[in-house]
Structure 1
Amino acid sequence: MKNPPAKPSQLITKEFAKVLNLNYNKKKADLTAKSAKSAKPKEDANAIWYSLEELENYIHYIKTQGLEDGYTVDGIRFYFGVYPEDEKHGEKAGLTTLFLVPTGKKTVTSTAKVQSFALVQEQTSSDVESLSPMNYGNIGRPPSLTY
């Protein structure tokens, strides 16, 4: 490989990932036990999976659409959610989900030849509300999936 990718600075150890996953599963189990209203509690999702193709397609889509909407898309924020308790959502009703929201900065067109450094610093990345979030990854349910 001529130009291997740089090693990401956000990598964590497998051991720490296991700790995070176990903590999540314990916390979620405690919350589920406290709020169990139905006689038949469901096992909730503890992992969400997206294919590389889906993620690459979404990244391409939000970059392209972002430019058309006047944004420089610079990231993706991952939000946790819970499906509404209704028939429309079938077996996912009441279960955890993870959805992706593009983030970016509004492209500023300026007639000034020199932009002030302070102005550049003030502009922060935020959710791009004109672009659609992505959801509907495949869920993993305990006890079959633990890290």
Structure 2
Amino acid sequence: MKKKMISFASLGLVCATFFLSCETENQHYEERLDAALEVPEKIISNAKAATLFQNDHTTRLSQIGKETTSFEEKSIYFDLQELTKYVNHLESVAVSRNIPITGASFVFGADANGKRTVFLMPSTRNASLDYQESFTIENGQFLTFKHIDQYLKVKPNSVTNENLILSSNGYLSFNEAVTLFNTYEINYIQPFAAKTPKEYYTKAVWYSLDEIKAYISYIKKKATDHDIAITGIDVFFGVYDTNPNLELKSNAQTLFLTASIQKHAIINTENELLKNYIQNGFFAKDDATDDEDESLAYNLGHLSPPPKNN
């Protein structure tokens, strides 16, 4: 009997050791997984975000007579819950309509007053042109939105019935998006092209759905970890440096995203406002760091029209 008790005790120790080992292994796995999810690949440093912001002012706005554009006019706010619902909606559409949605593009636009904006559109890969082509669906018709073209034409009877084009102020019809797109060409592309001829002029920035979801998960986790009341994402126009190693991205327009609390862009988990991180309206402060660990800024999307090697 004693031997049996010893055997059972030994078995218990083995089982306890086994389960403790499994629990430890699972814990380590979860920690590794959490770490992998915590910092998306395209998170950029605060200093890099500030530089992109500065470059936009000096190489674009100042060059086309819009140097008095205020900081507030440079921010495009998207509600976080609405953006999350939009990404989920695109995934549902991909399944229900059997459309290979590869991601979403932030397409550049400008309103009737000339203020820049962006709107989101689903995309699918155009194999013949080798780029991510935006599209929408209206009245059961699949409509491509070729932002590689200079201007787009409105369609008859355009209505918002599928909710596939998301702006900062709600959903847009195809024609409303076209109007914004064409106005951007008139107010921002053509004045700059007259001074700086380039092979292409960026009109959209593309991210895969997984990249957008990863960024949303990242800032939600940071909000929980640091008790930050993040309500949305602010989108800012930026411009890459003139570094020749960037090839066709050199001096190219881009976008960067950062978290927002009550429509005030924050650049890190210390709740530091991007506006306060910038001096004189657009210059990065001298003590700006290049630390990415607590950054909430996101960049490095694919530009469209795309560089030949993108």
Structure of higher RCO (CA pairs closer than 8 Å, 6+ residues apart): 1
Q: Is the Cα–Cα contact under 8 Å of residues 49 and 138 in structure 1 kept in the other structure?
A: yes
Decide which structure has greater helix share. 2
2:123 corresponding residue in structure 1: none
Q: CA deviation at 1:28?
A: 2.8
Counterpart amino acid of residue 234 in structure 2 = R
How far apart are the structure 2 equivalents of 1:125 and 1:69?
18
List gaps (5 residues or longer) in structure 1.
105-123, 143-147
Q: CA deviation at 1:15?
A: 0.3
Q: Secondary structure at the match of 2:170?
A: coil
The answer to whether the aligner puts 1:43 opposite 2:200 as a matched pair is yes
Q: CA deviation at 1:43?
A: 1.1
1:133 corresponding residue in structure 2: 297
Q: CA deviation at 1:125?
A: 4.2
Aligned residues: 116
State, as a whole percentage, how many aligned pairs show the same letter. Answer: 25
Counterpart amino acid of residue 97 in structure 1 = T
How far apart are the structure 1 equivalents of 2:226 and 2:206?
28
2:228 corresponding residue in structure 1: 71
The answer to whether the aligner puts 1:27 opposite 2:172 as a matched pair is no
2:282 corresponding residue in structure 1: none
1:85 corresponding residue in structure 2: 242
Normalised TM-score (structure 2): 0.34
List gaps (5 residues or longer) in structure 2.
1-87, 90-162, 269-294
Q: CA RMSD in A?
A: 2.4
Q: Secondary structure at the match of 1:30?
A: helix
Q: Secondary structure at the match of 1:97?
A: strand
Counterpart amino acid of residue 86 in structure 1 = N
Instruction: Show CA shifts across 1:11-66 (max 9, x none).
Output: 12110100111111222332223422xxx623111011111111111000011012
Alignment CA distance shift 1:10-1:82 (3 Å): same
How far apart are the structure 1 equivalents of 2:222 and 2:205?
25
